Amino acid sequence: MEAVQTSKQAINLENKYGAHNYHPLPVVLAKGEGVYLWDVEGKKYFDFLSAYSAVNQGHCHPRIIQTLKDQAEKLTLTSRAFFNDVLGPYEKYITDYFGFEKVLPMNTGAEGVETAIKICRKWAYEVKGIPEKDAVIVVCENNFHGRTTTIISFSNDLGARKNFGPYTPGFEKIAYDDIDALATILKNKNVAGFLVEPIQGEAGVYTPADDYLSKAAALCRENNVLFIADEIQTGIARTGSLLAVCGNCTCEGHCEQQSTYVRPDILILGKAISGGVYPVSAVLCDNKIMDVIQPGQHGSTFGGNPLGSQVAMTALEVVRDEKLAQNARKLGEIFRERMNAFIKTVDLVKLVRGKGLLNAIVINDTEDSSTAWDICVALKENGLLAKPTHGNIIRFAPPLVMTEEQLHECCDIIEKTIRQFTA
Ligand SMILES: *Cc1c(COP(=O)(O)O)cnc(C)c1O
């Protein structure tokens, strides 16, 4: 096994030996620290993607890495055939942290979503009393919940779906941020759950009306339908509060007293729950829902392993200790203020939107043009890494450990780069 010497070598190897299931920006990263990444040639970049918000705590956070090392030398995996001495403390820690009675530990985000779907369906038949096989889960158009066969069955992204059928039945789509559409579909007594992203990240950082989530949760409650929040991307301080469903609360933890807090019946977390160090996901809910899952009915060899559990505890502690939600909120306001002022001076950017440090700019060009991609390539040349998302939209989501000074430096790079395209 030989280490690559140049970016070109690494790209050639990936192209030749790896499935072409991604279309990466042409940069080969070799090192990360905090808000910075370095490529194979040693060029330094600001990370403005944070591995799709998995690295909220910054790259190679020393506390998280120390935990990983310590636990790796003790015990990594036993499977759930036996108990282990980290899972219990982790389960207590994460349920206290987010204010739920139970957690089901998994590894990837998609597995978390699959788990929530299974719990919801079983609850529908065994608690709500929907006739077996009739349960419907309502989802939103332009959703992104992962890549498994069932999840792509309710996607409307052609690339994600085409030629992967037959699709899993039992899902119905409504428009996002449309409370009337939800009210209408909930007239169907076979609806068991409503699965929703508090902000649609992949779709282009679509932020719904301020009262959408609270109204949706209330409608679900009235109709005995589970409100399932996919906070895999929006959660863990990204949007300026611990969870996006916390609304405008900036406290360091979970607090149901806050009038802005919308409590999901099922909460799905992933990505930053481990600070990008290890794949960890979690599904949280109370006993009256989680108790439908009994031995043999769901699981994963790696889910709840001591290494991931220990890493997740430290990663969540870092979020609290370093006040990352507060920082994301403060920097997010500065970012949007600067972008809004900048947009007034250029025609190429239509708008900036987002919450906390989950933001996007919409490029003023046709959806199928390559302008957003070309801007991202130029941003890379200028030392900042971001990636276009659906349509002509660029998502900006730096690690939450960024300082105000660094953010201003990044805004300078973004403005300078976009101006290159208007000349
Ligand atoms: C990333 C993401 C997922 C899928 O997570 P994976 O770890 O990639 O399987 C699901 N939902 C949302 C909202 C996401 O952003």
Model confidence pLDDT, tens digit, residues 134-180: 999 999 999 999 999 999 999 999 999 999 999 999 999 999 999 99
Q: What is the pLDDT of residue 91?
A: 98
CA of 397 to the centre of ligand 1 (A): 15
Among candidate residues 214, 272, 218, 232, the one with its CA nearest the CA of residue 151:
232
Whether 274 lines ligand 1, by a CB cut-off of 6 Å, is no
Q: Yes or no: say if 47 and 35 are a contact pair by the CB < 8 Å rule.
A: yes
Here the tokens at position 15 are 């192209």
- CA dihedral sign of residues 291, 292, 296, 297: negative
**33-54 pLDDT per residue, tens:** 999 999 999 999 999 999 999 9
In this prediction, residue 2 has a pLDDT band, given cuts at 50, 70 and 90, of confident
pLDDT digits (tens, 9 = 90+) for 168-203: 999 999 999 999 999 999 999 999 999 999 999 999
CA 157 / ligand 1 centre spacing (Å)? 15
| Ligand 1 pocket, residue 91 CB under 6 Å | no
**Distance in Å, CA 23 to ligand 1 centroid:** 17
Ligand 1 lined by 142 (C-beta under 6 Å):
no
Average pLDDT, the chain: 96
Spacing, Cα 146 to ligand 1 middle (Å): 5
CATH of 7-57+324-420, one of 3.30.9.10, 3.40.50.720, 3.90.1150.10, 3.40.50.880: 3.90.1150.10
231 lines ligand 1 (CB under 6 A): no
Instruction: Work out the number of other CB atoms within 10 angstroms of the CB of residue 196.
Output: 27
The token duo for 251 is 């406290």
What pLDDT was estimated at residue 258? 67
- Is the separation of the CB atoms in 195 and 232 below 8 Å? no
Q: Does the beta carbon of 146 sit less than 6 angstroms from any atom of ligand 1?
A: yes
Q: Which of 98, 144, 154, 227 is catalytic?
A: 144
**Cα 422–chain centre separation:** 33
Residue 58 per-residue DSSP state: -
Checking if the pLDDT of 396 tops 80, the result is yes
Strands 393-396 and 29-33: unpaired
280/304 Cα distance (integer angstroms): 8
Strand partners, 349: 363
Residue 29 CA to ligand 1 center (angstroms) comes to 22
Q: Is 112 in the pocket of ligand 1 (CB under 6 A)?
A: no
Question: Any catalytic annotation for residue 144?
Answer: yes
Whether residue 108 has its Cβ less than 6 Å from ligand 1:
yes
Q: How far is the CA of 149 from the centre of ligand 1 (A)?
A: 14
pLDDT tens digits, residue range 262-315?
999 999 999 999 999 999 999 999 999 999 999 999 999 999 999 999 999 999
154 counts as catalytic: no
Three-class SS state of 290: helix
User: Is the CB of 54 inside a 6 Å radius of any atom of ligand 1?
Assistant: no
- Residue 295: C-alpha distances to residues 117, 330, 364, 399 (Å): 17, 45, 53, 38
- Residue 112 Cα, ligand 1 centroid: separation in angstroms? 9
| Residue of 271, 355, 380, 387 marked active site | 271
205-250 confidence digits (pLDDT tens): 999 999 999 999 999 999 999 999 999 999 999 999 999 998 877 6
Confirm or reject: Cβ of 197 under 6 Å from ligand 1.
yes
Token digits for 365? 């060009």
What is the DSSP annotation of 120-168? HHHHIIIII-PPTT--EEEEETT----SSHHHHHT---HHHHTT--SPP
Catalytic-residue membership of 211: no
CA distance linking residue 333 with residue 340, whole number of Å: 10
Radius of gyration, CA atoms only, the chain: 21
CA 391 to chain centre: 19
Supply the residue whose CA is at minimum distance from atom 8 of ligand 1.
Answer: 109
pLDDT of 157: 94
Closest CA to 227 of 255, 186, 187, 258: 186
For residue 136, give both structure tokens: 């419907």
Task: Determine if ligand 1 sits within 6 Å of the CB of residue 278.
Answer: no
Select from 107, 145, 395 the residue to mutate for testing ligand 1; criterion: most ligand atoms less than 8 Å from CB. 145
Parse the chain into domains and list their residue ranges.
Answer: 7-57+324-420, 63-321
Residue 253's pLDDT is: 63
Residue 66 burial (C-beta neighbours within 10 Å; 0-12, 13-18, 19+): exposed
* Per-residue confidence (pLDDT) for residue 341, from 0 to 100: 98
Q: How confident is the model at residue 252 (pLDDT cuts 50, 70, 90)?
A: low
User: What is the rounded CA–CA span in Å between residue 228 and residue 266?
Assistant: 5
- Asked whether 110 lines ligand 1 (CB < 6 A), one says yes
Phi, then psi, of 82 in degrees rounded to 5: -130, 165
Cα 201 to middle of ligand 1, angstroms:
10
404 close to 375: Cβ distance less than 8 angstroms: no
Nearest CA to ligand 1 atom 5: 109
Residue nearest to atom 11 of ligand 1 (CA): 145
* Domain boundaries 63-321, corresponding CATH code: 3.40.640.10
Q: State how far the Cα of 63 lies from the Cα of 65, in Å rounded to an integer.
A: 5
Q: From the centroid of its chain, how far is CA 333?
A: 20
Closest CA to 271 of 373, 194, 201, 210: 201
Q: Where do we find the tokens 């829902």?
A: 289
Neighbours of 259 (CB within 10 A): 8
